[in-house]
Amino acid sequence: MADKTEPLIESALFISSSPLSVRRLKGLTNAEREEVKKSLESIRKKFSDGSHGIELCETTEGYELRVKPEYLEEVSHLTPYSDLSRGQLKVLALVAFKGPIRQSDIAKIIGNRAYSYIKDLEKRELIRTEKHKRTKKLEITNNFKSYFGIEERQDLEEKLEETLGGNIFDRLMEDG
């Protein structure tokens, strides 16, 4: 009988709406850790091929199947469910376009809920924090760049200017 581990892992990754850790997959398949890892590597290789629109990603919370960044824009309207809440996205946007930015400045704009959003984003390694006097300074990470499929932060700023137009862009990017 053919080994069911890999197809089982593949179907688990497909149906789950949140990342799955190796430990969870191990429990699900009753396979050894090494075997789970081998299956994940095989799935990753299979989907990395240009003929597939999805890929296997390893995040801080585990593994998940995602649409490849190059196709995301064209298909994202088909599902309203983003893996970042509107509040988290607001905080992330401020860090991306205004970073390094102080945590206290974000809280002034977003309100006290900003602290829990910051914690979530830090856990997902999309931002990093550094102690700064009595507050923290926030910056985006390389993980952020790979999440949005950009090389440099400047790429995002160009997109921002293109989308909003020069005047609004200048006003939003003003200091303070």
Partner 1 sequence: MKEQEILDFASTEPNWEETLDWIISEEGIDPWDIDLIELSNAFSKFVSKWQKFNFTVPARIVIIMAILLRIKVELLMWEERDQKKPNEVDIQELDIDVSDIPQLDAPKKRKPVRKATAEELIEAFRKAFETQERREKRKSRKERRVREAMPIDGQTEDIEERIERLYRRVDGILENMKEGKTTFSDLLPEWNRVEIIKNFSPLLSLNQDGRIVAEQEECFDDILVKMGDIDG
Binding site for partner 1 (CB under 8 A): 14-18, 66-67, 69, 72-73, 75-76, 78-79, 81-87, 89-90, 92-94, 96-97, 108-113, 147-150, 156, 159-160, 163-164, 168, 172
- Whichever of 4 and 33 has its CB closer to partner 1, that residue is 4
Taking the complex as a whole, the smallest distance from the CB of residue 28 to partner 1 amounts, in Å, to 15
The answer to whether residues 61 and 124 touch, using CB atoms and an 8 Å cutoff, is yes
Taking the complex as a whole, the smallest distance from the CB of residue 47 to partner 1 amounts, in Å, to 15
Greatest Cα-to-Cα distance within the chain, rounded to the nearest angstrom: 65
Taking the complex as a whole, the smallest distance from the CB of residue 48 to partner 1 amounts, in Å, to 17
**How far apart (Å, rounded) are the C-alpha atoms in residues 114 and 133?**
19
The phi and psi torsions of 39 (rounded to 5 degrees) equal -65, -40
Residues 6+ apart with CB under 8 A from 122: 128, 129
- Whichever of 51 and 79 has its CB closer to partner 1, that residue is 79
Taking the complex as a whole, the smallest distance from the CB of residue 159 to partner 1 amounts, in Å, to 6
- Whichever of 33 and 72 has its CB closer to partner 1, that residue is 72
Q: How many CB atoms lie within 10 A of CB 128?
A: 19
Q: Is the peptide bond before 69 cis (omega within 30 degrees of 0)?
A: no
- Whichever of 37 and 137 has its CB closer to partner 1, that residue is 137
